Structure 1
Amino acid sequence: MKKALIIVDVQNDFCEGGALAVPGANEIIPYINLLMQDNEYDQIVLTQDWHPADHKSFASNNGKKVGETIILNGIPQFMWPDHCVQGTFGAEFHPDLNREKVTHIVQKGKNPEFDSYSGFQDNNHFVKTGLDDFLKYHDIQLLEIVGLALDYCVKFTCLDAAQLGYVTCLHFNGSRAVNVKPDNGKDAIFEMLQNSVTILG
C-alpha cells in the first residue's frame, strides 16, 4: 500500500510570533522532520494557505472584529486576522521545516470569496485543489497527516481524506490546535474518530 505524508500549513503566520500563531506550533516541527527522516513515504505533500490581501475571511476586509462570524456565500465564516497573504514572510513555510524530500505543494485559499480549510477543496465544496487527483495519479492509498491547526485545516483535511476513501491517520504529536474555544481541539479529535480517522500518538 503506497503512503503519503500530508503536512498541513506549517507556515510562519501559524507559528510562534505569527499573525495567527497556534500555541505550541513550533514544537511539532522536529517531530515532523523525524517522520520524514525515519519513514519511507511515496509522496510528501505540503499544503500552503495562500490568501490574496482582499480575502473575505479577514476581519479587516469586512469591517468586523477578529472572532466574529459572518455568512459568506451561504455558510458561516469565522473572522480571522490577516494571515498567509501571498508573497509575504508569513505565508512562507517555517524555515526549520525540512523540505528536502517534499514532492508536491498544494496552495489553498487563493479565491478571495471562499475560505479553504481542507487541503482537498474550499469550504463550499465548489473548487478542488488538485490534491486528490495528484494522490490518485500516484496510487496513494494511505495518508498520514500532520500540521496546523488541528481544529481547522488539519481536521477538515483528515475528514475529506477519509470521505474520499483514503486510509487516514492523524499524528497527534505532529499537530496543535488553535483552540478559538477551549475544547475545539478535543472536539476535533472526537469528530475525526467518529469519521474513520485513526489517531496515532
Structure 2
Amino acid sequence: MTTSGRPSKFNPALLVVDMQEDFCPPNGSLAVGNGRDVIPVINTLLANPAFTTRIATKDWHPTTHISFASNHPAPNNIPFTSYTTITNPHNPLETYKTRLWPDHCVQGTKGAELVPELDQSLIDEIVEKGTDDRVEMYSCFHDPFEHPRVSDSGLVERLQRRDVTHVYVVGLAMDYCVKYSAIDAKKAGFEVYVVEEGTKAVDPSAWEEVRKELGGYGITMVGTGGKEAGWLGGKQCSA
C-alpha cells in the first residue's frame, strides 16, 4: 500500500463499534448475520501503529431501556417490526420514531461483553452508550435530540484533545450504530471512513442505500486495499 495522496495533517483514530456478544452469532439476542467474520479485519487495524487512539464502544442498556420491545404494551411490541415514538424528556416538541428490538446488551450481562476474539489489549478506551433508558442512542457520540441533548458521551471532545483529524469506523451494525456514529463524527468536523470489510448490516439489502446516505454527508466507504488504508500503512508510531 502507498501513502500517496495522504493529507499533510493526518492523525487518525479507530472506532470499533459494538463488537458485543449480543450482536454476534451464534447466541446473540440481536445477532447480525456473519457478525464475527469482521473480527480478523478489526484486529489487524487495532494492531496498526498509525492510530493515535483506538476506541471501542458498547451498548450498555438498563433493563428498562425504551428500545426494548419487552418494555412496551402489546400488540405494538414486536421486536424488529414495531416502532415507538420517543419524546425529548426536556422538550415535548422534539420527537423521533425508533425501531423496537429484543432485549440486548443489558448492563453487566454476558451479552453486553465485548467478544473475546477481539484483541482488547490494543484498545485504549471503552465508551458505554445507551445508558439513559429514555432515549435511543445508536451513535457513540450522543442521542439524536438537539434542543437540548439528553445523553452525550463526551467522545467528540476527547478526540479533539488528541488532535484527531480522521476517524476510521468498523463494527456492528453498518446500518445502525456504525452509520450514525460515522455521521456524527463527520458532523463534528472529522474526516470519516467506514471500512467495508470491518462491518456487517442488520439488513444486508440496505448496504447500497446506506452507502449513498453516508456519501451525502461526505463519508466514504473504503476497502482495506484502498488508498485510505494505504495512508495508515505509511504512518509511523510516535515515541
Please tell me the TM-score bracket, short chain as reference.
Answer: over 0.9
Matched with 1:186 is 208
Deviation at 1:35, TM superposition (A): 1.2
Q: Is contact 2:61-2:131 (8 Å) kept? A: yes
Does residue 147 in structure 1 map to residue 195 in structure 2? no
Q: Is contact 2:167-2:192 (8 Å) kept? A: yes
Deviation at 1:112, TM superposition (A): 0.5
Matched with 2:113 is 92
The SS at the match of 1:183 is: helix
Unaligned runs of at least 5 residues, structure 1? none
2:138 to 104, 112, 117: 117
Distance 1:114 1:184 in 2: 24
Instruction: Report the residue type matching 2:59 in the other structure.
Output: D
- Kindly report structure 1 stretches of 4+ aligned residues shifted beyond 3 Å: none
1:26 to 17, 29, 36: 36
Instruction: Report the residue type matching 2:18 in the other structure.
Output: D
The total of aligned residue pairs comes to 199
RMSD after superposition: 1.1
Deviation at 1:145, TM superposition (A): 0.5
Question: Matches of residues 41-120 of structure 1 in structure 2 within 5 Å?
Answer: 41-63=51-73, 64-66=77-79, 67-73=81-87, 74-120=95-141
Unaligned runs of at least 5 residues, structure 2? 1-9, 88-94, 224-239
Compute the TM-score of the two structures, normalised by the length of structure 2: 0.81
The SS at the match of 2:62 is: coil
Instruction: Report the residue type matching 1:183 in the other structure.
Output: S
Q: Is contact 1:51-1:111 (8 Å) kept? A: yes
Instruction: Report the residue type matching 2:145 in the other structure.
Output: N
Identical positions, percent: 37
The SS at the match of 1:46 is: strand
Compute the TM-score of the two structures, normalised by the length of structure 1: 0.96
2:190 to 166, 172, 183: 166
Matched with 2:217 is 195
Structure number, greater radius of gyration: 2
The SS at the match of 1:152 is: helix
Instruction: Report the residue type matching 1:69 in the other structure.
Output: Y
Q: Is contact 1:59-1:79 (8 Å) kept? A: yes
Q: Is contact 1:43-1:103 (8 Å) kept? A: yes
Instruction: Report the residue type matching 2:53 in the other structure.
Output: Q
